[in-house]
Amino acid sequence: MSEINPLLQNFDHPPFSKMKTEHFKPAFVESLKQARKEIDAIVQNTEEPSFQNTIEALEFSGNALGRISSIFFNLNSAETNPDIQQLAQEISPLLSEFNNDLLLNKDLFQKIKQIYTQQSHHEYSDEQVMLLEKIYKNFTRNGANLEKEKQARLRDIDKSLSKTSLKFGENVLAETNNFELHLTDEDQLKGIPEAVKESARELAQEKKKEGFILTLDYPTYIPVMKFAENRQLRKELFLGFGSKAFKDNSFNNEQNVLNIVKLRLERANLLGFESHADFVLQERMAKSFDNVQTFLDDILEKALPAAKKEIEELKAFALQCDGIEDFQKWDKAYYTEKLKQKKFDLDEESLKPYFELNQVIHGMFDIASKLFNLSFEKVEDIDVYHQDVVTYKVYEDKKYLATLYADFHPRPGKRDGAWMTTYKDQYHRGSVEERPQVSIVCNFTKPTKHKPSLLTFSEVTTLFHEFGHALHAMNANTTYPSLSGASVYWDFVELPSQLLENWCYEKEAMELFAKHYETGEVLPIEYIEKIKKSSNFLEGLQTTRQVSFGKLDMAWHALTTMEGINDVKAHEDKAFEMTELLPEVKNNCMSTAFGHIFQGGYSSGYYSYKWAEVLDADAFEYFKEHGIFDARVAEKYKETILQKGGTVEPMKLYKLFRGKEPDPSALLKRAGLVST
């Protein structure tokens, strides 16, 4: 008897412990076959096309395929290996083909079009109207109206894009994993926090080597750049980090970048748009490339003069401290930290004992309880894909709301960064309500033999950021899965995440999570005040940096021709020209490892972080006016933003919550870039 495939059985939570890599291919083949049958049933239905037998039927089709896809591609990000990566290259074209078959199905589109053009004859709910709009646009924006020859080319482009984007990410992960800086002289690590040294020593021992091994994982890289007194060590690590997928080896991503950009441009042209940015921004709050450029330029106008003064201050400080006359990029984080300590008497390392990971998590849950009446129960009976993963059942008024997976530490099979994802979305179907299964994935400092995981304050804000996304998904209360939770315009999706970060700076909130891991002492008030005062430290440089990333994104995706664009580094340098305040490093290139825009969903959308900052600064002012734990404001926020998902236009939702459009000056005031 052949082995039972757990992915093809009925399951609620993903059956990780029963799954094997070889289960995925047959599971995809079978679920694709099932999804095609469901589409065929809609097309072949001889009844008059209706919202129920066409739009809703389409919305709820392919459920098994969607769940298997979410499991597989989440594993490919958080717990991958060569076999999974190879399988991803095989499966992605199959999914692209299915997606194209669906979106280019002429008979299906005719039914959708009929319902869309006749919607004025029916009384649909706001959510039904939004779903109809979304589905109709999805078809028209993906080639439903194209001639057959152009549709065939679109299919080829989508297959190539899926494979090339996967390869891009695989190369970045390989480069990260392949880098090791082996040191035997402890004096070279002078200034580096003891916890980082201990981790580096333990890693060397694991690899049966003497001394220490430094990697490019964030919990190692960031502290070394901030605290290592050895300038050559900082330089070596900086060059390793900045040259990922830019070396002359098999993991070089330069051609992948050019191919992705070229294919996206061709795809946009086929669909009647001048650029990929034009195509993407049509379905964003910003609406157009010109609006994004104006938005970024307006912020840069305020930030750049401040940034230039700040970099000169850093240079003068480095010269005064250590006689550094040729200030370089690998000096910036180190002297920023030293100057911050001098100005605010604030040592990042002295704060870490107050931010033990489990204590921060419990405090964060307390904040969610105060705001949204949620409770979190740690459970051991839910399958996980790695022993590091912790699971919680989430309740609202003792009613089950969601499952939360939490995966916090780096490992070789896990990509850099932090993200929120879902294994199942919330939706209603008939009398049945499905509640979401949500995961937050980060790369925080690992515990060692002698110390627990102690976070930097930056890691604390990262945790709150991803938890803000999770709250968006967990509180969802919509009928349709594609409009649920964080399924909103890309430049609106960062509002819940960035808004929650604000609680990290408030005394009333910090007292819930900032407690010494050994004594239980709450972080002294003077430290809380110093954190708040230092929050705008070198804000001009930080803002300019973020704007520069948005500019680089647009430099690639607002192109209307690829003529003359054949040197990735040269094109990147041109994009950074206005914002580059330190000598360029010829061996480094950001584009070749810029996963947000070449592997993630942020192409033509990196500006969204700054866009959402305008929203979150304005929204938090509203909270502060009434109290950061005000029950009425929190309930209003939950009902208008968190629960509604993508069922209403974002600006309408924001105005329902705030009573007005956001005030951009709130961001500039908070950043200290304009006077209050």
Q: Is the sign of the CA dihedral 8, 9, 13, 17 positive or negative?
A: negative
Last residue of a domain, one of 492, 518, 544: 518
Residues 6 or more apart in contact with residue 37 via CB below 8 angstroms = none
Region 504-510: mean pLDDT is: 96
Structural domains of the chain, count: 4
Residue 532 identity (one-letter amino acid)? K
Q: Is 191 left (phi over 0), alpha (psi -120 to 50) or beta?
A: left
Q: 364-409 pLDDT, tens per residue?
A: 999 999 999 999 999 999 999 999 999 999 999 999 999 999 999 9
Dihedral of the alpha carbons of 353, 357, 363, 368, in degrees to the nearest 10: 150
Check: CB of residue 439 under 8 Å from CB of residue 74.
yes
In this structure, the answer to whether residues 225 and 321 fall within a common structural domain is no
**Do 658 and 584 share a structural domain?**
yes
| DSSP per-residue string spanning 172-238 | HHHHHHH--EEE--GGGGTTS-HHHHHHHHHHHHHTT-SSEEE-SSHHHHHHHHHH---HHHHHHHH
Co-location of 471 and 428 in the same domain: yes
**Is position 250 within any domain?**
no
Asked if 499 and 616 touch (Cβ cutoff 8 Å), the reply is yes
| Residue 84 belongs to domain with CATH number | 1.20.1050.40
Using the predicted structure, report yes or no on whether residue 141 has a pLDDT greater than 70.
Answer: yes
416 is a domain residue: yes
CATH of the domain at 458: 1.10.1370.40
- Average pLDDT, rounded, for the chain: 96
Classify residue 200: in a domain, yes or no.
Answer: yes
**Are residues 90 and 27 both part of a single domain?**
yes
Would residue 363 count as lying in a domain? yes
Instruction: Look up residue 104 and give its two tokens.
Output: 């280019």
Using alpha carbons only, what angle is made at residue 270 by residues 265 and 274, rounded to the nearest 5 degrees?
50
Average pLDDT for 55-70:
97
Higher pLDDT, 664 or 549: 549
Residue 605 near residue 493 (C-beta atoms within 8 A): no
Terminal-residue alpha carbon distance, the chain: 74
Residue-wise pLDDT for 459-500, tens only, equals 999 999 999 999 999 999 999 999 999 999 988 999 999 999
Active site residue 266: no
Q: Are residues 340 and 378 in the same domain?
A: no
Residue 665 pLDDT greater than 90, yes or no: no
- Does the structure show a pLDDT above 50 at 1? no
In a domain, 158, yes or no: no
Residue 433 has pLDDT above 60, yes or no: yes
pLDDT of residue 676: 57
* 489 Cβ neighbours under 8 A, 6+ residues apart: 283, 284, 285, 646, 650
| Whether residue 217 is found in the same domain as residue 278 | no
**Based on the domain organization, do 278 and 369 belong to the same domain?**
no
At 514, phi and psi to the nearest 5?
-95, 85
Task: State the catalytic residue, choosing from 170, 466, 494, 572.
Answer: 466
For residues 334 and 359, membership in a common domain is answered with no
Kindly state whether residues 198 and 330 are assigned to the same domain.
no
Q: What is the CATH number of the domain that holds 617?
A: 1.10.1370.10
Q: 550: part of which helix (H) or strand (E)?
A: helix 539-557
Q: Would the pLDDT of 54 be above 50?
A: yes
Last residue of a domain, one of 102, 126, 145: 145
Q: Using one digit for the tens of pLDDT, what is the confidence trace for 73-121?
A: 999 999 999 999 999 999 999 999 999 999 999 999 999 999 999 998 9
162 inside domain = no
Domain boundary among 120, 145, 170: 145
Residues 416 and 495 in one domain: yes
Same domain, 371 and 393: yes
Assigned domain for 215 exists: yes
Q: Which range marks the domain in which residue 195 is found?
A: 179-242
160 belongs to a structural domain = no
Residues 507 and 362 in one domain: yes
452 Cβ contact partners less than 8 Å away, ≥ 6 residues apart: 356, 357, 358, 517
- Say what the pLDDT of residue 663 is: 85
